[in-house]
Amino acid sequence: MQVTRCIFISRCKLLKSQRSILLKKTRKIIAAVIAAMTAVTSITACSADYSHIDGYSDVENARKLYASLYSAELTVTDKGTGTVTQELTFCYDQNDTLSYSYFGTDGNTKYYEYHNGSEYNYYSDGEWHTLVSGDQNYVSYNRTNKMSMTDEGMIFIKPDCVTGSEVKETADGKTVTMQYDVSKLNDSMSAQLGLVGDLDSFSVVYNLDRDGYCTSMEQIGYATKDGAQGKVDYLMTITHMNDVAAVEKPEVDGSSGNKSENNTDNSSVAESTSSDNSNR
C-alpha cells in the first residue's frame, strides 16, 4: 500500500512544474513556516498493520473520500494569527478535467493560480501570465492525473509515528485525535522541517461528518529553531463538497490584465463549469 502524507501545504513545494515557473519568472519562492510544514512524503507500507490505532481506518477512509470528490473548497488558516494562508476551489467537468482557483501567502508575498481546464494562469510581477497546451511548463489535471491538493495526501497521517489516539463521537459525526512521536518525525522529515526547526510536540485533530468525510483537520505543535520555541497551529477546513458549480478567476488588486507567454494580451479567461454532480 502506497501511503501519501502531507503536513500543511506549500503550493510551491507540491507542484514542482509550477514552482519552476515561479522561480524562472519572479526569482522568488513563497517560503514560511507552512512551506516547511507542508511537504509531501510517502512510505511503502505493504505489510504494515495499523488496526491497533484508534481512528486509523476512519482517517484512511476520509482520505479516500476526499480524493473522490468532484468539487470542494479548501481553506488553511494560521490559528496563531488568524490569517488565511491558502484557499483552493476546484471542480471537475463532465470529461473529468480539473478547473481550480488557488491563493497562497506567507504573510508577505501573495501567489495566485487559476486553471480553467485549458489555460493555466499564474499571477506574478503585478500581472497574470497564461500558458496553453504546447507551452513549456504547461500542465493540466484530471481525475487520473490528479493535482496534489485534490488527492488524499491533503489529509495528513503518518501511522508509523503515532504514539496515541482517541476517537470521540459528536453530534455531527466523530473527532479523531492522534499524537505523534516527534523524534521520528524530526528524523524522517528533517529536510521538510528545516524552516520550522525541531518539533517538540505534534498532534492532529480530524473532524469527520456522519458520512465519514473530513470537514476539518487541525495540526497543533511546538517547534524549536535557533533556541526559540514557537507554536504551530494550522486549521484546514473542507466545505462545499460536491457543491461547486463553477470556478472563477481570483480577483487581484492592482492586476494589469493577462499576458501570454508570447507577450500577447488576453482580455479575459473563460469561466469553467462542472457537470451537474449530485451532493454527496
Judged by average pLDDT, the poorest of 28-37, 43-52, 56-65, 143-152 is 28-37
Stretch 24-53: mean pLDDT: 49
User: What pLDDT score does 277 carry?
Assistant: 45
226-266: pLDDT as tens digits:
999 989 899 999 999 999 999 999 988 765 556 555 444 44
Separate counts of helices (H) and strands (E) for the chain:
5, 17
29's CB contacts (< 8 A; 6+ apart) are 12, 19, 22, 23, 35
Whether residue 132 has pLDDT greater than 80: yes
Whether residue 209 has pLDDT greater than 80: yes
Whether residue 192 has pLDDT greater than 90: no
1-21: pLDDT as tens digits:
333 334 553 443 434 344 444
The pTM of the full predicted model, rounded to 2 decimals, is 0.80
Written as one letter, the residue type at 141 is: Y
